[in-house]
Structure 1
């Protein structure tokens, strides 16, 4: 485990967050009394002083999917195409939370991941707002501590500069190309520009500890991540039409918020959300709303 980066990650994750977000994390965990291990808060809402009207983002880490769902088909769906995502409301706030097992969370933060979705997010700031015990807390922090080295090692062969900030910017630009994204062009760079000191410190610590070996064919690796990432985005969207109540409205809200569009969901699209989402995709690609 990295000697310089791990304390930085632990200190950041254990910082206090908005008490309402912390209460929501506890309420999410309470739904899974036999499986919940940790709840992490991440995303743009970390930087917001007023959470009213925003969609908060959480990850619920569970011991395993059978313990979380019993024999339900949700356990098989979560194992086959992780994560499952669910909407949540608590004390006037709205959120969505993704469910991963401890094993999947550790794998998807590491270079062994076959897509960018988890390590790209947890290379950014997050908060550990609830843990069932110290072992769960340590495991969650150790998993997140893999995310930054994973991103930076894959960015290293592709970056124009070799300093920490150049690596971060190259890495985030590449990850945004590996998912269907609603954010405007340049969003990947603004992540670093919003807190360059944080990214410099974390990047230099990761570099000092030694990064995981970069793949010999880095460009080929990124092409594979981009192909799989966009395919997975579509598959997860299809799955969410069964697991996420109001998922198509959330999709429209997120795209409108980030891309400045004015998509209005029609009644038939709510009635058949999978078909509605599929018919929405070509228009979004043509408009550049998602990339």
Structure 2
């Protein structure tokens, strides 16, 4: 394959087109039906629903929760509640639980709510925190769009296309000058996993790449181009200019700050989710046990006082090393 030289900041139309094609991948009928029902909960405020996460990667729809992002036109319109609207703006996103019975089978999901404008901002280089752009650097699907709003398809594609470019731009000083595409993304995802409270074991980035290698092989060159990173991509090899000592120092400080900020925000989101997420404290225990192998004991008083219980549970899990 001829090498693709990436020498200047170029328009990301090529990247947006690739991401748009991924977003347009037909979803399983269960996923589409579930997404439509979740969108109905927000009536005229709902604009689009994205499907992402482990169920998309593995195709397992019943053994885990489906993961959705619901995009709305505004928080007050979506909730009719000042409290939820303020919480969604200050500590985004709000996360909720949903169950739907489809063709006699009960499926479960968690879904996050963001306004479309807020999602665009959180996926862009304007956002220091990794939460949105780390997730949407991975493959996702646009599984529901408000009828009569075809413009939303391109709006969402442009927003999602920012995510892989933002990730590579942020990771750039910490990446090796010469690597395979696989190692490039594994290293980049390792940085993001270290910037949130995560129960997953080390090596998650490798799993992410190996479940969708064609996607990452396709988007690497245009994502680097969109990020303004000079690079040469030839086959599965990537060559970047060697980062200077100053660049690496600045990058190291930035990722240390992201880790502090990200873990604080993760803790705040978990505490908030105990109030917005039906059975949230039980879900938290299930997920942590599933990913870390650490058994989590939920006591009756945790359920009676979920926010205080969540704080004590968080402390205990940190001590046990279940979350990092």
The TM-score, its normalising length taken from structure 1, stands at 0.94
For structure 2, list consecutive stretches of 5 or more residues without a partner in the other structure: 1-10, 231-242
CA distance in 1, matches of 2:81, 2:199: 35
Q: Report how far residue 117 of structure 1 moved.
A: 0.5
Greater RCO, 1 or 2 (C-alpha within 8 Å, sep 6+): 2
Between 1:62-71 and 1:35-44, the stretch displaced more is 62-71
Q: Report how far residue 210 of structure 1 moved.
A: 4.7
CA distance in 2, matches of 1:205, 1:219: 25
Equivalent residue for 2:182, pick from 157, 165, 178: 165
Provide closer, same or farther for how the CA distance between residues 211 and 168 of structure 1 changes in structure 2, counting only shifts above 3 A.
farther
Considering only CA atoms, is the larger Rg found in Structure 1 or Structure 2?
Answer: 2
Query: What residue in structure 1 maps to residue 24 of structure 2?
Result: 14
Equivalent residue for 2:197, pick from 176, 180, 198: 180
Between 1:114-123 and 1:235-244, the stretch displaced more is 235-244
Query: What residue in structure 2 maps to residue 148 of structure 1?
Result: 164
Figure out how many residues of one structure are paired with residues of the other and give that number. 291
Query: What residue in structure 1 maps to residue 107 of structure 2?
Result: 93
Provide closer, same or farther for how the CA distance between residues 27 and 212 of structure 1 changes in structure 2, counting only shifts above 3 A.
farther
**Aligned positions of 1:218-229 closer than 5 A:** 218-229=251-262
Provide closer, same or farther for how the CA distance between residues 274 and 65 of structure 1 changes in structure 2, counting only shifts above 3 A.
same
Name the Cα RMSD after superposition: 1.9
Answer yes or no: is the 8 Å Cα contact 2:185–2:205 preserved in 1: no
Query: What residue in structure 1 maps to residue 294 of structure 2?
Result: 261
Q: Report how far residue 135 of structure 1 moved.
A: 1.4
SS in 2 for 1:218: helix
For structure 1, list consecutive stretches of 5 or more residues without a partner in the other structure: none
Equivalent residue for 2:143, pick from 109, 129, 137: 129
CA distance in 2, matches of 1:101, 1:162: 39
SS in 1 for 2:43: coil
The reply to whether residue 113 of structure 1 matches residue 127 of structure 2 is yes
The reply to whether residue 233 of structure 1 matches residue 266 of structure 2 is yes
Query: What residue in structure 1 maps to residue 207 of structure 2?
Result: 190
CA distance in 2, matches of 1:232, 1:209: 28
Provide closer, same or farther for how the CA distance between residues 263 and 71 of structure 1 changes in structure 2, counting only shifts above 3 A.
closer
Q: Report how far residue 212 of structure 1 moved.
A: 6.8
